[in-house]
Every structure is written in C-alpha cells, then in structure tokens.
Structure 1
Amino acid sequence: MSIKSLNRLVAKISGKVPLRTVLIVPFMLQIFAAVGLTGYLSFRNGQEAVSDLVTKLQSGINARVADKIKTYLEVPNSINKSNSRAFQRGFWRFNDFTSQERQLWDETQLSSWSPMTIIGFGTALGGHRAVERLGDGTFVIRAAKDGGGPYTTYTVDDRGNPTKVISISNRFDSRQRPWYQVAVQAKGSAWTSIYPHIYTGELLLALAKPIYEEKTGKLLGVTYAIRTIDEISKFLKSIEISGSGQVFIMERDGSLVANSNQEKAYIKRSSVKEQKRLLAIDSSNQLVRFTAKYLSSRFGNLNKIHSTQQLDFLLDGKRQFVQVLPFQDRRGLNWLIVAIIPESDFMEQINANTRTTILLCLAALIVATFVGVITARWVTQPILRLNAAATALSEGKLEGTLEVERSDELGNMTRAFNQMAIQLKESFAALENANSELEIKVQKRTAELQKAKSAADAANQAKSEFLANMSHELRTPLNAILGFAQLMNRAGSLTLEQQQNIGIISRSGEHLLRLINQVLELSKIEAGRITLNEENFDLYCLLEDLEDMFRLKAEDKDLQLIFDLSPTVPQYLRTDEVKLRQVLINLLNNAIKFTDFGGVSLKVKSQKADFFLLTFEVEDTGPGIAPDELNNLFEAFVQTKTGKTSHQGTGLGLAISRQFVKLMGGEMTVSSEVGKGTIFKFDIAIAPVDATDIKTKQSPRRVISLEPNQPRYRILVVDDRWENRHLLYKMLQPLGFDLQEASNGLEAIEIWSSWRPHLIWMDMRMPVMDGYEATKHIKTHTKGQATAIIALTASVFEEEKAVVLSAGCDDFLRKPFREADIFEAMHKHLGVNYIYDEPTDSIDSTQKEGGRQNALTPAAFSALPIELLANLEQAATQIDMNMIDIYINEIRTYNPNLSDGLASLAAGFQYDDILTLIQTAKNHKGIEKNV
C-alpha cells in the first residue's frame, strides 16, 4: 500500500473515530516497541530528582536570604521608633541638638551586634544631626544648622562627644536629601531608593520616619537610619550554593542591589554625582547577565512577577535552573531575589548513564519514529492552520476566519477559535473607545491640577511680596519721623510747647511702630519666617524687673501682685529672652488691666528629665472669659467682650504670645470661670547655663564730637527718600564729616568713582538701580574693597541679612535706627573715635554726679507737671527707652539737675530706681496735693 492510500484510509477512518483514540493507538505501539523505555524513564526520573533537589535548595537559599534581609533591615525601623518615642515622651526635642547627638550615639552603640552606618535626623527647617560609622570602625558626627548652613564633620571621643572639626563642606539642607523627601511624601516610615554616599560613593539604603507635633500635626522633622548595600553582598558571598551557582538581588527596574560574586552594584565615576547604578543585564558576570536578560524577555516587565517563579533556560547549551522570589515590605521595598544553579553541577553521573541508554534505545526509536511521522502528519496539519490563524490574530488581523471541515475535536476547536476571534474584535473596539475617553479625562484633570498649582504658587509669591512691601513702605517714613524728632529734641532753643509737640510726635510714632511690628510679626509667624534667637540670661533678674514694672500699676488699683518662684528653677538659662519677656508682659498686663479687685499671681515651676521644662502660670481674679469666647481667644485681631469695652489693644498680643511659646517648644492653654478669674499657662524647654556665661550689659553713651587729630572722613548717603538722606546728613554733619548724597544706585556709582568715599550708607530698595546692584558693581573693583558699605533696610526678615551680606555689604542696620548704632558701625568699620558726654557707669564717681543725685528729691519731683510725671512713670513701667529719654529731656526745661540725675539712672538701666523715686515723691505731702 502506498503512502497516499494509507493517508486516505486514515483520513476516512479519522472522520468518525474520536481524536483521543487516533492518538493513543499509534503511541501505544511506540511505547511497547521502545526497548529503551526503562533507560528513558531512568533519565527522566534523574532529571526530575535533580530538578526537585535544585528547587528545594533554591527555596532554602532564597528563604534564608529573605530572612536575613528582613532581620538586617528591621533594625533601622526599631531605631526610628525609638527616636520617635523619645520625642513623643519629651526625652529630646528638635531644637536641642546636644541631647539628640547623645541619643544617636547611644543607639549606635546598642546596635553593635547589627551595626548601622548612619543614624540621624533632619529638622523641618533644614538642620541636620547624624552619627556615622566609618569603614575603619570609627565614628563621626555630621551637623548642619537650620536654614541650610555649612555641613560640619566632627570626630568623637569614646563617649560620643564631638572633639574636633575634620571637614566643613558647602551648604547642606536636610530637606533636599532622599530620606527626608521620601518620609514627608509617604507621611510615615518609608525606604528611600538606593543612592550613593555623598562622600564615599558607597550605596546606601535609608529608612526614614517623619515626626509630627501631636497637637497641631505640624511636621517637626525626620529621623532616619541607614544601612550599606555592601553588607548584603557580603552575606550573599558567605552562602554555600553549589559548584558554580550564584544568587543576586535586583530591583524591579533591573538595577543590581547585591550579588554573591565580587562585582560591585554600581559603576564608579570620578565624581559621586556621576556615579551610576549597574543594571543586571550589564553585569560582567555571564551567569547574572544572561539570567537577567532571560527574565526580561520572559516577562517583558519585571513588575509582573508577583509570586515565586521556578524557571530554567539554556546557556551555552547547558540548562540553568532559576528561582525568583519577590521580596516586599509595607515601607516600599520591592526587590527580586534570584538563585541560579547550573544543571551540570548535579547531572554529571546522570549524563554518563544517559549515553549508555541512548545506544540501547536507538534501534527501537527508529521503528517508533516511522509510526510517529505518519501520526504527527495527520494531527499537525489542522493544528498548523490554527497556529497560522492565531499568529495572524496576535498581529491584529481580526477579519479572517477558518473553514470548518471536521466534526471531531479539531473541528470543535476551529469553531471555538472563530467565535473567539469575533469576541476579540468586539472587545478591542470597546477597549479602544474606553482608552480614548480615559485619555480625555486624564488630560482634563492634568490641566485642572496644573491650574491649581499655579494659583497656589502665585498666592505664596504675593504673600512674600506683601510682607516685604509692608516692611519697607511703613518703616521707612517712621525712620524719618522718629529720627528728626530725636534730633529736634536735642536742640536747646526749643520752647516748652515745642518740646511737648515733639514729645507727642515721638510717642505717636513709637506707638505706630509697635502696632506695625505686631502686624508684621504676626505675618512672619503665619509665613513661617519667624526665628528663635537664643541667648544666656539671668531669669531671676528678668522676673525681678517684671515685678518692679507691674508693682506700682497693681498698687494703683489696690491689687495684690505675687511672684511665686519654685526653688528648683535655675537662675541662669538659655532661650529667647526677648520673646519670653514679651509673652510674660502681655499676660501680666492683660491680667492687671482687666482685674479690679483681688490680685494677680505668676508661678514658675520646673521639671527635669533629659532637659529642663519651665512652667509659667499667670492667674487673676478678674471677670473671667465666657466659654463661647475661649475658642477664638488666640485668633489675631479678635478681642473678648471685656477687651472691647476697655477700648485698648489690637487683639494681637495673645495670638503673637501663643506663637512665640510654640516657637520655644511649648504650648499655651487657658482656663477661665466667669466671675472668678482666668489662668493662662504655658511651658518651654530651656538649657541651664553657668553664671560665667552671662554677658554684662554696657551703659550707652551719647556722642557730642569727634576726637581731634583724625582724618577727614568722606561719607556717602544713598537713599531714594530725601527725608532719610537728610536725617543722616543732620546727624553726621555737625560732627565734621564730609558728606555727599545720592538718590539711587547709579548716582552712587558715579560719585564713588570720582569722590572715593570712606564709607557708604546704602539703601537697598531704590528705583533706577537698587542697592544690591550698586554694591556688587563697587565691590568688583579693587578700589571698591577699601570702601565700607553698610546696608540700611526696612526689612524685618532675618534671611534678608544673609542676602544683603552676600551682595557684598560689610554690615547691616534696620530702619528705624538709633543714632548710637550709626556711630558704633562707623567706629567698627572706619575706626572713628568720638568724644562722649559724661560717663554714667558710676553714680558716685564725681562731685557732679553727687550733685545729680542730690537733685533726686521729692521736692524736685513736686515741681513737675502732673501729666509729665505720670507719663514718665508709665514709660519706666513698660521699659520704653525712647519714651523715657523724651520725658527726661522735657524735665530739663524745669530742672536740669533733676534731668541729669534721671538720665544717669536711665543710662544704667536702673528703671526700678526711677519708679521707686516717683512712688516716694507721690507719698510726699507736697506731691499728694498736686497728684
């Protein structure tokens, strides 16, 4: 029988016989005919045994690696939790860097069993503290101040204390570091991407955790801990796999994390910034490189691997077993652990047996091959047609269908394939429409988000410009008003009425300046631009001043004033004295103002943990505050019903005070009961200091002329406002300086080029050319370095000082300024020496001083007008130095000796003595009749 006849016979029979029967009968003949059946099965069993063994070995390796990574990376989480708890429990605060360095050092020592590379934190203002373990096992402390300052590295002793500076790098801002940004974005613990060390280039992995203020939810900073990736590679190298097996870890983008060979996971460059991560497909190790390429081609995208994959492929004709284990955690890690074991490591003996078996099976396979060819030919022809149609379908050719010629399983398969093609065509059409609609929605939403972002950026920019303009436009004219009032008040030819008019102008200007400062202070707080200016001071002295300040005011209202200071409160401490004084003055002044009977008390207590915590409590027996007004009590420009009826204040005092307390690390609370009184309570964190750390305040002196035999100094005054130029001209010209004026930066450059002044008073905001450009132009010349340039600006922002100095200015003064500051700056930068009025350091030093003291008698005070005496008492109570000077000058027209005596006390800041003299005079019989 020919082959064609045989095919026709088979086709005729197959049309009625099920496909399963047609396939089983021929292959049963082959199976029974195969002499080498046993050898074949042995070979297959050997392969399966090896496959099972390799799978178990790979599973064990991957599980061990995963457990090691979990243990290795859990330590940073424990450290971050410890730091977070330390903050929440009050053990340390973000503005207390010394205690934090101690905390970080202790944690580094406790984690010696699983050593950390870096443990640190960054503040929300850009400050940074970190303890780092170097490669040689030593430690350093790296630190940067708030606002982004120089990055300083210290060596440490065996107790973790900084010893010496070993390096200072450029400006460092923690808010720009990867660990800070990923924690803020995640609003919780999160891993950074792998990134290089800024100095060594070594790959690092950081776990960062943000810390928020419990009550307000305000971000205070980020604590973090860092591991090196090389530690993982060292562990992988220690694993015993097989003769040539390897294990490596890569990220979902294909970047190599660690491997068990000697290859680094990055391509090192001359600069750390140019350093690149090494992709697994670019590895110099052949097994790693081909495995990565195989996984990429197999899955297309590594992100599609969601579960353990057991795979194999051929490399140089040899089978390689691959197991891929996804490794993820809830903090953002998403790695793949890949174990590779060549089959040849286990198949040498099996391959030897296989060669023997092949020879035995060869004859039997020849017969089986003949039968198999005929069977395969009959089965594969319709299958090939289906394959061709499926290929066309995969290429997007959905129009064609197959002709159904059979009624068996292949016929059913063909009909099913045709139906599937129709359904796919409909599904693709629907999907295309859905994609078009989705793309339109995405574009629309993107445009909306961009518009919202632009609006937010514009609002922030407008607010910053508003603050700058407010500062300049309001403080600049006040500088002229107060300055000229001060100059006119020094003239000896003024009548009493003129002096009184000047006093009214000065008092009104000072009051307006205080209001402006309060509004700008509140605006700076809302914009997050207020800073903490810490200094060492005597707390006992501050409280005594406050008690003396408000004692007379309380006695005038027949109120009892009590200052209760706990014995455990330290006398000398460090915090922002000015802001603490302002908060206490606001609270005590409100308490006395709104209390008509009973008393007012201030209680100060301390608590000590890792730091000192001072608690202040101001209690009064006033009318109290209604419950519905308590919620709005600290809002700006909001006053209670009692406050409105008093017709005093602006409603800013409590709002600013509360923000000052928050800035000092505390919180202010209030409790009140209508008809019984109110209690304001707040606490702040402080650092005790020694008495030797307190600076002694020097008494001011008034310049009356220049010392003889000095050069004739040339001074250039640059300001677009005539009144401001004229003020400096009137202040400096009587002393003998050569003066010229310029109304803008361009004129200043022209005068400087021809006149070569020794010093320039430079306004920074001017038309035509501002002070910044003019200063840069002058300082770029060699001769310009010999000219001192001092900026005069109405800005209230601290950061403005850094901008001015970076432009080339030698110093910085704010408007309104005091004439003492002007003369001191000229002495500092030119070496000008002055002749001052008589010294005020000692009241009993000369006979003239004794005469002044003899004038401080009740009889002398009795001759003064009642209003003038009351105004002096009010100014001394509020420690308003400008107003005290004005009233003392007014007294000079009535009694020069009395005025000189009071001036001596004021120059020595002896305001309590002035108040005592006024009270004694009021109790004197002659004063009582007038008062």
Structure 2
Amino acid sequence: MTRLAGSFLFLSLAIVSLVGYIAYRQATEALKASVFDRLNTVATFKAGELNRWVDDRMQDVAFLASLSEVRGPAEIFLTHDKSHPAYQAASNTFAGFMEKILAGRFDPQEIFILNDTGGQIVVSTEPDREGRYRPMDIYYTRGRQGTFAQGVYASPMTLKPTLTIATPLHDAAGQQRLGVLAVHMNLTHMDQIVRNSAGLGKTGESYLVDSLNVFVSADRFGRREFPRGVHTEGIDTALAGRNGEGLYQNYAGVPVIGVYRWLEDRQLALLVEMSREEAFAPARQLALNIIKVGVVSAWLLTLGGYALARQIVRPIRKIADTAMQVADGDLESLVPVLTEDEVGILARSFNQMVGQVKKHREHLEDRVAERTVDLKKANTRLQHEVAVRKQAEDEVLKLNEGLEHRVAERTSELSVANSLLQQAKESAEAASRAKSRFLANMSHELRTPLNIILGFSHILNRDVRTPPDQQETLMTITRSGEHLLALINDILEMSKIEAGRTILRKEGFDLHRTLEGIEKMMRNRADDKGLHLTIQPPTDLPRFIRTDETKLRQVLVNLLGNAIKFTDKGGVTLRAWCKRADQDTRLVFEVEDTGVGIEKSETGIIFNAFAQTGFSDKAREGTGLGLAISKQYVHLMGGGISAERREEKGSRFRFDIQFDPADMTDITVKEPIRRVLRLQPNQPAWRILIVENNPESREVLKKLLTAVGFDVREAENGQEGLKLFDQWHPHLIWMDLKMPVMDGYETTRTIKSCPTGQTTKVIALTASSFDEQKADALASGCDDFISKPFGETDIFGTMEKHLGVRYLYEDDHPLADTVISNGKAKALAGSEPLAMLPDSLLRELSDAAVACDVQKVASVIGQVRTIDGPIADALTDLANSFQYDEILDLIRG
C-alpha cells in the first residue's frame, strides 16, 4: 500500500510541476509580447506628442515674427539709437505686446531680438540680458537662415535645460533681414508629456536622456545624481541611434522591460520602461494557482488511492493469513467474505476447502464465529479511533497553518513599518541638506551683486576726477547698498541660527568698560525722551571676562533700545550681578522700564522670529528679529531669557549667560586703518591672477589692484586659470570658489599639487556667509579666506600678510598719528578737526551712534570721507571696535 500510494503521489506532483512550468513560460511570452506592444504604443505616442509640441512652437514663433506688432518695433530697435524718440515708444509697444504673448497659449520663457551684424541681444523680456552678444550660438546662426529649433541644451546664461526656437526678422516690406527673433521655451509641458504614466501601470516610467548620457527635465540635467552620466543597455543602444526593446536593468538597477527610441530631430533618447516584476506578475500568479490546485489534487488523489489500495489488499491479506494458520494446523480459521468479486469467490472456495477438512470439528465452529465477531468489533473500534486521531491531526495542521499565516502577516507589517521609518529619516536628512544648500546659494546670490555695487562705489570715490555732485550720488548708492547688506545679514543670521550654524567666538574683554560704553551710547536717546537711564552693576562684578562680547553687546543694546522705544515717562534700569550655585557661576542681566508693558498672552511669542507685540503702534517699527536673535544668542552663550509684565507699570526682561574669567593681557586693541595709495619702490613686479566667473566682480578687484600698481590678469573659470598659472606663474591668485567648468576647490587642489604651486599663494573669495565654506576652502589648499562684500583693507592687508608687500599710504594727518591710544581717539578730543565738519553731519553721526546703528554709522563716516579722509579713517577704526561712546565724546568736544 505504501509503495502504491507513494508512486501515485510522485507521479501526480511531477505532472503538476510540468504543467505549471509550461503554463508559466507560455504566459510569460504572451505577456512579454503584450507589454512590448503597449510600451511601443506609449513611446510612439510620446514621440509624436513631443514632435508636435516643438512643431507647434516653431509655427507660433514664425507667426510671431510675422506680426506687425513685432516687426514694427523690431525695425526701430535694430535701425535706431536708444536716444531716438521713436525708440521709447516702440519699446513700450513691444513690452505691452510681449506681456500679452507671455500670458498666451504657448510656452515662452524668454523672448528676445538679436541684431543681424554681431548677434547682440537688443531687447528681451529679461532686461538684464540686453546688450550681451551671442554670435556663436547655434540657434542664432541657423535662425538667420530660417525657422530653426535647437534641441535641449544647457543654457550658458541660466545653466538650466533650454529649448530655443529662432526665426529671421525682416523689414515691413519683407525684403531685408534685420535680425533674429529667438524664444527660450519653458520645458514644463515637455515634462508633462514625458512623465505622464498613463498605460504604464504602477512602476512604469518614461524619461529623456541627451547625447551626453544626462537626464533631461524642465529644471535640471541630472548631472548631480549621476556625475559620470547614466548608462544602461537601453540608454546606450538608443544613443547609438538604434530603436528597439528588451529586458535589462534600468539606471536604478531594477530589472525592467523597456522600449527605447532615438529621436533624431530632437537629438534625445526616449525610454519607456516597466518593472519586470509588475509586467510578469499575472504569469507568476497563474503558475502559482496551477501548482496550488495540482498539489491539493495530488494529495486528494493519493488519499483516494491509499483507501482503494487498502480496500483491495486487506481481504487478500486475510486469505494469506488464514492459509498460513491452516498450514500450521489451525483448521478452525475461516476467511471472511467481504466482497462479491474474485477475491470473495476465492475466500468462499478456501472456506469450503477448510470446512471439508474440519467437519469432524464442527462443534468448534460456533467459537470460531464468536471470535470472528469479536475481531470485527475490535476492528471497528480501532477504525473509529484512527478516524478520531486523523481528525485531531487535521485540526492541529490547520492551527499550525493559521499560526504561520499570522506570523507572516506580522513580519510583513514590521517590514513595512521599518521601510516607512527609513523613508522618513531619509526625507528629514534630504530636507536638512536642501536647507543648507538653499542658505549657501542665497548668501552667494545676494552678496555677489552687493560686492560689485559697493566695490565700484568705493573705486569711484577714490578717483579724484569724480565731480562732487556725482560723489554725493555715489555716497547715496553706498549707503543704500550697506543698508541692504545689513537687512540681508539679519535675515541670513536668523537662518544660520535656525540651521544651527551660528558659533560662539569667545574673547577676553573689559565688562565694566563695555557697560560704560553701552550707557554712553543709550544716554542721548534716553535724554531726548526725558527718561532716566540707570546702570546698576555691583562692586563685586568681575571686570575681565571671556565670552562673545559682540553677541552680549547686541543683546543688551536690543533690550535697552526696546525699553526706551516703548517708554514715554519714567526711566529704564539695567542691573547686572553674579549668581553662584554649586560650581556654576553665571552673569545675570535685568532690563526694567516704566513703559507700556507687554500683555501676558504675548510673553510666549515676542521671542519668535518676525513676531511683534500689538500693544503699541511703535511695535510696527523694525523687522521683528531683534528679540528672536537675542534669544538665540543668549542660548548660544549657555543661558536663558524671559520677559514679564511688571505689576505697577512697564516690563522686565532678564537673562543669564555662562562666562570664563580672563586676565588683562587677554584684551586686544585694534590698529588704525590707513588708506593705501600705491606700492613702495624697489619691489618685485607683483603678478596677481584673478579667477572669477562674474565679470563685474573681476572688474572691481582688477581696478582696485591696478590702481595701486599690481600687474593683474584675469580668468573667468578654473580651467582658464590653470592655463594662465602655467604660462604666467603669478605670485598670488584670488580664487572664486563657485564657478562653472571647474570650481575653485578643484582648481586650487590642482595648483597646489604642482611643485610650482607650493609657493603660489591662493586666497579664496566667496559670497557665502557660512563658516564651513572656509573650512572646505582651507582643506582644498587655499592659504586664506575672504568673504564678499570685502573692503579694500581686507584685500591689501591679506596681500601684505602673505606676500610681504610694502605700501605707500595717504599723507599722515595730525589725527592719524594719535587716533588710537588704548582704544581712544585722544587727538580728536582736544583739537579742532571735527569742528570743520557740517553740524547736520555731526548730528546724524551722533544719532546713529546713540542708536547703535552699525550701518548708519558706516554710512555717515562714508560722507565724512568725502570731506577729510584721515578723520574718516579714525572714525572707522572706532566704529569697527564698537567704541561708539568714544565717538560721542569726540562729537561733544
């Protein structure tokens, strides 16, 4: 029975496996053909849509060039000077029409007109591009011959993916070509066509790759994710100019079934792919179902075969057993007749034979019959027990299968939860990196143009040929630029605080002198409002301490300034004392006023960025960042800050900070600032190389250096800088860090790897305000680091430090020799130089010093410089060291 049932089971399973495998193979081939048909249909549709979109845009541009609203103004732009009266009218007409076009049905990003002689951009919807020359651009040279669409490429101006359509512009008679009308297209619609996943299932996707193996989309080329280009079997075959389909791994290493096309007109590869797991899922499910049904059927057939075999074998075995008993002399045994077939006939014949033998023992037949009945009953009970046990085993098997299923479900749930946690972690890390990149780019993009504005303003102010009325205009530009820089610095400082990038710069200073200076600075402002200003430090307050003096001063000035602003009667009091607890000693400061106070509901929000109390109209003044920055500064110095409303009237602000004791020797005094006129004689011909991609920034630095006497050359990227370095061997290189083609980091590493580069000084220039940029620059081999906007003292001082350059300075003034003496301008205190300045200018300087307005003080000193340079230098040194109390003493005489 075992051999029969086992053979039957093996044969059944073999047949089921073979059927399942054949069904899987056939289903897979059928699905593959179906998926290829579907992907080919999608690829054909998307390629057609892309070509139709480009053709439609070409027709739009050609039609636009034929309109009188474009041809008329274009003829004036290209044949008349800007000073001509008709030029402005044409410009207004063209601008109004372009506004309507840009809001129209097709997708222009920028529309501009180039002249026919040199490829100069005469007019553009992006005014900052006007005046540039693009004579070598393909769309210009081909657009002069007829309507032409240049494929997707990286714009040299925006460094973003661009598709440009150009067409010739003719005069009103249509005979003479005047120039070229070009349109940079917005690729968003192209992305929508390509990225539409309709008909591609859950995992299907389509994308474009250019001839440089780089992903193409509306906002980027994908070079960051795949710096060496993206390569797959489908991409490489399509870029070779061949269309096809196949099974391969995509750019993410996922096995896919894909269709690839080379779009000759667009010079792009189009790929439409779907994961093989999704594509062949029906085939796997079919094979799995066949195997499941086959296995169950095989087991059922096996059980039936086992029962059938048992039914056949059991009576035969009974006959054999009885025969053995008879052979041993037991004539009492009879074979039970269980069936009416051949086995039953055999049993009866055997019994008849035995009956004939045992007739003489007939009296024993009854006993044999009884025994047979007993055996049948026992056999029935045994069968019942076997059935009960079988049922119990089946129930245990079902319980085990249920338990295994629940364990599998729980394991799957845990796997999904872990995957979600990992995705959340990666999303948080990506958001942090994106914020860091945003702050770095924001700092660079804002500081670079400010550096150019302030740099050219200072250069023109240095020029004695600049008329006085233009110098006043330049001072206005300088003050506006410095004010804008202050606003940018506040916002970036708040962003750096939120990003955790603000650091604590500890230095030793005289705390008593700092409090005295703050009192003198705020005294005039309090006196102007008729308020009592009181500073109450105890006698045991430590004098020399070590912490961040600039941040501490800023917090105190912010709190005192707010207190005076919101107080009309009474006074403002500043208290300071030491609080000692266990081994921790802290400085505690408290600012109390008798002003309008604050509401209890606002005490929890006034330290938030851009939050202002609504209790008074004066709260509308300012940016709302002062208290938020103060709170972060206090936390950075290891303390906390709080605000409360006084019961009688007014408000009370209190904060504490950690500090270290310091010695008098830790206190440093800054040297006076002197203006450089030219180089001293008998020095080497210093060769200075400027590597900077921004032409205006290069021009600022070049004019500043050549005016003094340096030999200067310039390069617009790192690759050109390396060529000039090999040919010219400069003594010092001013290196911008963020450039196209080759950035400053890689250029510096290449220079420093050369034997001659070890003696060449490389100074990093960057518009970033983050300290990690300095660490990266120094790690790449730079010898020093200067942030934009920079002053001329930064440039000349750095070159003196690293090259030993000797300068001739502006003629000494009686003020210049004695302006700094232990931090005080004593020469001004007893002389008349400040008396020669206008009273209005002195009042403006006094108000700025009282308000501790850093930008305003610098602006007024800039006006003083147009009258007397040495006096301005002395005041600049006092302002740089925040000695506003000394400035007020000098003004009061």
| TM, length-normalised to structure 1 | 0.51
Amino acid across the alignment from 1:830: L
Separation (CA, whole Å) in 2 of partners of 1:531 and 1:750: 39
Of the three residues 479, 483, 486, the one matched with 1:511 is 483
Q: Does 1:549 align with 2:521?
A: yes
Bigger Rg over Cα: 2
Of the three residues 549, 561, 566, the one matched with 1:594 is 566
* Alignment-derived partner of residue 493 in structure 2: 521
* Alignment-derived partner of residue 831 in structure 2: 854
Where 1:800 maps in the other structure, the secondary structure is helix
* Shift in CA distance, 431/698, structure 1 to aligned 2, threshold 3 Å: same
* Alignment-derived partner of residue 413 in structure 2: 441
Of the three residues 706, 710, 716, the one matched with 1:737 is 710
Alignment of 1:448-459 (within 5 A): 448-459=420-431
* Shift in CA distance, 655/734, structure 1 to aligned 2, threshold 3 Å: same
Where 2:734 maps in the other structure, the secondary structure is strand
* Alignment-derived partner of residue 459 in structure 2: 487
* Alignment-derived partner of residue 182 in structure 1: none
Deviation sequence 1:208-227 (CA, Å, 0-9, x none): xxxxxxxxxxxxxxxxxxxx
Shift of 1:701: 2.1
* Shift in CA distance, 803/601, structure 1 to aligned 2, threshold 3 Å: same
Q: Does 1:652 align with 2:629?
A: no
Where 1:769 maps in the other structure, the secondary structure is coil
Shift of 1:728: 0.9
Separation (CA, whole Å) in 1 of partners of 2:488 and 2:675: 28
Of the three residues 822, 831, 843, the one matched with 2:804 is 831
Q: Which runs of 5+ in 2 are unaligned?
A: 1-374
* Alignment-derived partner of residue 394 in structure 1: none
Separation (CA, whole Å) in 2 of partners of 1:700 and 1:404: 124
Q: Does 1:798 align with 2:771?
A: yes
Alignment of 1:106-145 (within 5 A): none
Of the three residues 892, 912, 920, the one matched with 2:885 is 912
CA contact (8 A) 1:404 1:415 kept: no
Alignment of 1:46-195 (within 5 A): none
Of the three residues 847, 867, 871, the one matched with 1:874 is 847
* Alignment-derived partner of residue 818 in structure 2: 842
CA contact (8 A) 1:700 1:907 kept: no
How high is the sequence identity, in percent, across the aligned residues? 47
Q: Does 1:663 align with 2:639?
A: no
* Shift in CA distance, 815/446, structure 1 to aligned 2, threshold 3 Å: same
Deviation sequence 1:314-358 (CA, Å, 0-9, x none): xxxxxxxxxxxxxxxxxxxxxxxxxxxxxxxxxxxxxxxxxxxxx
CA contact (8 A) 2:566 2:618 kept: no
CA contact (8 A) 1:718 1:745 kept: yes
* Shift in CA distance, 628/559, structure 1 to aligned 2, threshold 3 Å: same
CA contact (8 A) 2:597 2:646 kept: yes
Separation (CA, whole Å) in 2 of partners of 1:650 and 1:592: 17
CA contact (8 A) 2:735 2:762 kept: yes
* Alignment-derived partner of residue 497 in structure 1: 469
* Shift in CA distance, 590/699, structure 1 to aligned 2, threshold 3 Å: same
* Alignment-derived partner of residue 426 in structure 1: 398
Shift of 1:604: 0.6
Separation (CA, whole Å) in 1 of partners of 2:432 and 2:555: 29
CA RMSD of aligned residues (A): 3.3
CA contact (8 A) 1:788 1:810 kept: yes
* Shift in CA distance, 450/606, structure 1 to aligned 2, threshold 3 Å: closer
Separation (CA, whole Å) in 1 of partners of 2:874 and 2:830: 6
CA contact (8 A) 2:577 2:588 kept: yes
CA contact (8 A) 1:699 1:907 kept: no
* Alignment-derived partner of residue 620 in structure 1: 593
Where 1:641 maps in the other structure, the secondary structure is coil
Deviation sequence 1:123-179 (CA, Å, 0-9, x none): xxxxxxxxxxxxxxxxxxxxxxxxxxxxxxxxxxxxxxxxxxxxxxxxxxxxxxxxx
Separation (CA, whole Å) in 2 of partners of 1:614 and 1:541: 16
Q: Does 1:767 align with 2:740?
A: yes
Separation (CA, whole Å) in 2 of partners of 1:406 and 1:909: 113
Shift of 1:777: 1.0
Shift of 1:638: 1.2
Shift of 1:587: 1.1
CA contact (8 A) 2:828 2:890 kept: no
Amino acid across the alignment from 1:669: S
Amino acid across the alignment from 1:689: A
Separation (CA, whole Å) in 1 of partners of 2:845 and 2:451: 23
Separation (CA, whole Å) in 2 of partners of 1:425 and 1:404: 31
Of the three residues 657, 661, 671, the one matched with 1:684 is 657
* Shift in CA distance, 426/567, structure 1 to aligned 2, threshold 3 Å: same
* Shift in CA distance, 849/644, structure 1 to aligned 2, threshold 3 Å: closer
CA contact (8 A) 2:763 2:786 kept: yes
Shift of 1:507: 2.1
Amino acid across the alignment from 2:460: M
Q: Does 1:786 align with 2:785?
A: no
* Alignment-derived partner of residue 746 in structure 1: 719
Q: Does 1:535 align with 2:535?
A: no
* Shift in CA distance, 700/409, structure 1 to aligned 2, threshold 3 Å: farther
Shift of 1:731: 1.2
Q: Does 1:565 align with 2:564?
A: no
Deviation sequence 1:801-847 (CA, Å, 0-9, x none): 111111111111111112111111101111111122327352599xx
Shift of 1:918: 3.5
Amino acid across the alignment from 1:544: E
Where 1:463 maps in the other structure, the secondary structure is helix
* Alignment-derived partner of residue 70 in structure 1: none
Amino acid across the alignment from 1:678: S
Where 1:854 maps in the other structure, the secondary structure is coil
* Alignment-derived partner of residue 274 in structure 2: none
Amino acid across the alignment from 1:676: K
Amino acid across the alignment from 1:806: A
CA contact (8 A) 2:640 2:656 kept: yes
Where 1:801 maps in the other structure, the secondary structure is helix
* Shift in CA distance, 612/588, structure 1 to aligned 2, threshold 3 Å: same
CA contact (8 A) 1:612 1:688 kept: no
Aligned length: 512
* Alignment-derived partner of residue 445 in structure 2: 473
Amino acid across the alignment from 2:799: M
* Shift in CA distance, 896/413, structure 1 to aligned 2, threshold 3 Å: closer
CA contact (8 A) 1:606 1:613 kept: yes
Where 1:832 maps in the other structure, the secondary structure is coil
* Shift in CA distance, 512/591, structure 1 to aligned 2, threshold 3 Å: same
Separation (CA, whole Å) in 2 of partners of 1:422 and 1:888: 98
Which piece of structure 1 moves more, 414-423 or 807-816?
414-423
Separation (CA, whole Å) in 2 of partners of 1:454 and 1:906: 47
Shift of 1:799: 1.8
Deviation sequence 1:733-784 (CA, Å, 0-9, x none): 1111000111111111111111111000001001111101111111111111
Alignment of 1:203-602 (within 5 A): 417-602=389-574
Where 1:468 maps in the other structure, the secondary structure is helix
* Alignment-derived partner of residue 175 in structure 2: none
Separation (CA, whole Å) in 2 of partners of 1:897 and 1:527: 41
Shift of 1:585: 1.4
| TM, length-normalised to structure 2 | 0.53
Shift of 1:891: 4.2
Of the three residues 713, 724, 728, the one matched with 2:697 is 724
Separation (CA, whole Å) in 2 of partners of 1:822 and 1:872: 27
Shift of 1:852: 9.9
* Shift in CA distance, 713/762, structure 1 to aligned 2, threshold 3 Å: same
Amino acid across the alignment from 1:753: D
